[in-house]
Amino acid sequence: MDSHRQVVDRLRSAFCSGMTVPEQFRLTQLSSLLSMMEENEQLILDSLHKDLGKPKFEAIISEVDIVFNELHYAIANLRSWMQPQHVDTNLATKLDGCFVRRQPLGVVLIIAPWNYPLQLVLLPMIGAIAAGNCVVIKPSEVSAATESLVAELIPKYMCQDCYAVVRGGADETKALLENRFDHIFYTGSSVVARSILQAASIHLTPVTLELGGKCPCLIYGRVNVTAAARRLVWAKFFNAGQSCVAPDYVLCSQDTLSALLPALREALKDFYGEDPYTCPDLARIVSHQHWTRLVELLGKSTGKVVVGGDSNQDDKYIAPTVVVDVEESDALMKTEIFGPILPIMTVDSLEKGIDFINQREKPLALYVFSDESPVVNTVLENSSSGGFCANDGIVHMTLPGLPFGGVGASGWGSYHGIWGFETFSHRRACLLRGWAMERFNVLRYPPYRDDNLSWLRWTTSVKSHCRLM
């Protein structure tokens, strides 16, 4: 087996050869990835089921189709993304070619977590390939079946000189990070993100961080409680709550809570039956360690469990659980839950709800449920989050046209669609000039003269340019 160094060296020499730059090469590789997905769908579903008990339905929409969509979108748009982008000129640069040219960064590293173990490896990879880079991917060792499938399939379908998979956990990743990369794209927890940043600082490598945190769901004013409960339950318990954009907690008034609780019970019964343990549509917790963390977290809560609460260690099962009477100081409010436990806190007013959110780290997603558009707009205008979705959960991240990423503590940078292409591209500022008009350059050459300065300021000013247009 090649050492990390050998892998990175192999990819770097492929990158330096220029082979990844032509549009045709990028398209061929994206098409190979498409074939990989088409020809191995069952193996993919099996491995996701093994890792997380992922129901086929959830696996198809959140891991398979999202990758297909991203691939089709990139293939359809690559040519236009690659075009130089001409920019406004001023009088002094009127005859020049002034444009932004997207260039690949080089050899990039993608480090992924376990909760969507295929999607979170392949979606960034599509952006990186489209942008013309060589790519090392490091799937999560926690989702071992998918890690092993990715390691088997990528070399079969993709050019081995340009793309490689490195397997392993924290130690292997740390060793890998000793190598110089041209970009590191990390998805995972904010704790590990700090050590990624430290490693990146040695080589001054730019980093994209796709992190997590607590995504609030603020329910306020008139609201269709039945629909709100169904959408909330779906978004929260999809993948057993192990989604970075899952609603982490609910904020609502006492009146809303009284109406919401029966609707939540009803939605849970409709979706997962009387006994969710026997329901094939509910995923499992990824590992015993993660199961223990969640059960202990629930145990520490001083809130009241009103739905669920039961669990089964052997099967890594935790019932969809709703907890009320939750205080700000509750254990469930101190950390990202990342599991099927939904705490609900009451607030007296919309302003207090917004303040509560704004006093915490900026979330990856913020959800507001309300029939009243002034409520939705007030939250939108007075808060900040990576993404925002009104009257539903998670769905905003399925559109390749929308950038996906955090802000502040929930992450730096974004991807999906053109945003992924941009993340893995350098925007090179280009000005191409000929030899004509040399006599106008006396305006800027020494010996400096005040009258030349006035002319120069006029020809280079944005204001005079706008007036001339």
> Any idea which residues carry the catalytic annotation?
210, 244
The secondary structure of 435-452 as a DSSP string is STTGGGGGGTSSSP-HHH
Nearer to ligand NAD, 51 or 210 (CB): 210
60-68, 74-82, 112-120, 458-466 -> range binding ligand NAD (CB under 6 A): 112-120
Least distance CB 344 / ligand NAD (angstroms): 20
Nearer to ligand NAD, 144 or 229 (CB): 144
Instruction: Note whether 287 binds ligand NAD by CB under 6 A.
Output: no
Nearer to ligand NAD, 210 or 330 (CB): 210
11-19, 66-74, 138-146, 370-378 -> range binding ligand NAD (CB under 6 A): 138-146
Nearer to ligand NAD, 112 or 126 (CB): 112
Q: Structure tokens of 348?
A: 């007296």
Chain positions 338 to 357 lying near ligand NAD, rule: CB under 6 A, are 338
Q: How many residues does the chain have?
A: 469
Q: How far is Cα 332 from Cα 344, in angstroms, rounded to an integer?
A: 10
Residue of minimal CB distance from ligand NAD? 212
Among 174, 180, 265, 293, contact with ligand NAD (rule: CB under 6 A): 174
Residues 6+ apart with CB under 8 A from 290: 142, 316, 338, 339
Which three-class secondary structure state does DSSP give residue 304? strand
Cα dihedral 445, 449, 451, 457 sign: positive
Least distance CB 411 / ligand NAD (angstroms): 5
CA-based nearest residue to 214, from 183, 250, 181: 250
Among 48, 92, 110, 112, contact with ligand NAD (rule: CB under 6 A): 112
Instruction: Note whether 150 binds ligand NAD by CB under 6 A.
Output: no
Query: What strand order describes the sheet that includes 207-210?
Result: 163-165, 134-138, 107-111, 183-187, 207-210, 411-412
Angle ∠(62,410,33) on CA atoms, nearest 5? 35
Instruction: Note whether 411 binds ligand NAD by CB under 6 A.
Output: yes
The answer to whether residues 53 and 284 touch, using CB atoms and an 8 Å cutoff, is yes
Chain positions 209 to 238 lying near ligand NAD, rule: CB under 6 A, are 210-212
Mask of contacts with ligand NAD, 154-173, x by CB under 6 A? ---------------xx--x
Report which residue type is found at 87.
V
Least distance CB 28 / ligand NAD (angstroms): 28
10-18, 29-37, 139-147, 251-259 -> range binding ligand NAD (CB under 6 A): 139-147
108-116, 223-231, 252-260, 271-279 -> range binding ligand NAD (CB under 6 A): 108-116
Instruction: Note whether 192 binds ligand NAD by CB under 6 A.
Output: yes
The answer to whether residues 178 and 210 touch, using CB atoms and an 8 Å cutoff, is no
Least distance CB 1 / ligand NAD (angstroms): 18
Nearer to ligand NAD, 154 or 228 (CB): 154
Among 26, 54, 102, 138, contact with ligand NAD (rule: CB under 6 A): 138
Nearer to ligand NAD, 164 or 376 (CB): 164
Residues 6+ apart with CB under 8 A from 322: 261, 264, 268, 305, 306, 307, 308, 342, 344
The answer to whether residues 209 and 411 touch, using CB atoms and an 8 Å cutoff, is yes
Give the ranges where 249-362 is alpha helix by DSSP (H). 254-272, 288-300, 350-358
CA-based nearest residue to 78, from 120, 36, 28, 118: 28
Residues 6+ apart with CB under 8 A from 233: 264, 267, 268, 271, 320
DSSP one-letter code for 353: H
Least distance CB 158 / ligand NAD (angstroms): 19
Q: How far is Cα 206 from Cα 183, in angstroms, rounded to an integer?
A: 5
Q: How far is Cα 235 from Cα 237, in angstroms, rounded to an integer?
A: 6
The answer to whether residues 266 and 228 touch, using CB atoms and an 8 Å cutoff, is no
Instruction: Note whether 360 binds ligand NAD by CB under 6 A.
Output: no
The answer to whether residues 391 and 226 touch, using CB atoms and an 8 Å cutoff, is no
Among 141, 281, 355, 371, contact with ligand NAD (rule: CB under 6 A): 141
Nearer to ligand NAD, 108 or 111 (CB): 111
Chain positions 312 to 341 lying near ligand NAD, rule: CB under 6 A, are 336, 338
Q: How far is Cα 159 from Cα 27, in angstroms, rounded to an integer?
A: 12
Nearer to ligand NAD, 132 or 413 (CB): 413
106-114, 273-281, 309-317, 459-467 -> range binding ligand NAD (CB under 6 A): 106-114
Where on the chain is the footprint of ligand NAD (CB under 6 A)?
111-115, 120, 138, 140-142, 169-170, 173-174, 187-189, 192, 195, 210-212, 244, 336, 338, 364, 406, 411
